[in-house]
């Protein structure tokens, strides 16, 4: 069974969720990150990214700003990649 169409639909859905968060700062951060990397994510990485998107906007922004440490259960390779990502304007 070819999972490529399923993966592509997930990527599109997650990209949309990344761009339209409701918090402008996270729209920019997550949107640019997703545009730059989501096409190369496989199923496991998409799972990790989806868990990241389930976190609240304030929580994500606090992790990015270094205000609070990332909880162990949220610390994934995709989150670490996101935290090291630099937004380009």
Q: What is the pLDDT of residues 42-83, one digit of tens each?
A: 999 999 999 999 999 999 999 999 999 999 999 999 999 999
- This prediction's pTM: 0.90
Contacts 24+ apart (CB under 8 A), 42-51: 42/7, 43/3, 43/7, 45/77, 45/78, 46/7, 46/10, 46/11, 46/14, 48/76, 48/77, 48/78, 48/79, 49/14, 49/78, 50/10, 50/14, 51/76
What is the third-level CATH fold of 4-84? Answer: DNA polymerase; domain 1 (1.10.150)
User: What rounded mean pLDDT belongs to the chain?
Assistant: 93
Q: Mean pLDDT across the stretch 19-33?
A: 93
**Residue ranges covered by each domain of the chain:** 4-84
Question: pLDDT above 70 covers what percent of the chain?
Answer: 94
């Amino acid at each position: 069974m070819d999972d490529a169409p399923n993966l592509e639909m997930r990527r599109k859905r997650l990209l949309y969720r990344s761009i339209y968060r409701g918090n402008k700062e996270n729209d920019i951060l997550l949107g640019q990150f997703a545009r730059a990397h989501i096409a190369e994510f496989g199923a496991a990485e998409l799972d990790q990214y989806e868990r990241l998107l389930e976190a609240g906007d304030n929580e994500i922004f606090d992790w990015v700003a270094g205000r609070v440490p990332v909880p162990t259960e949220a610390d994934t390779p995709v989150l670490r990649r996101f935290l090291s990502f630099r937004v380009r304007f």
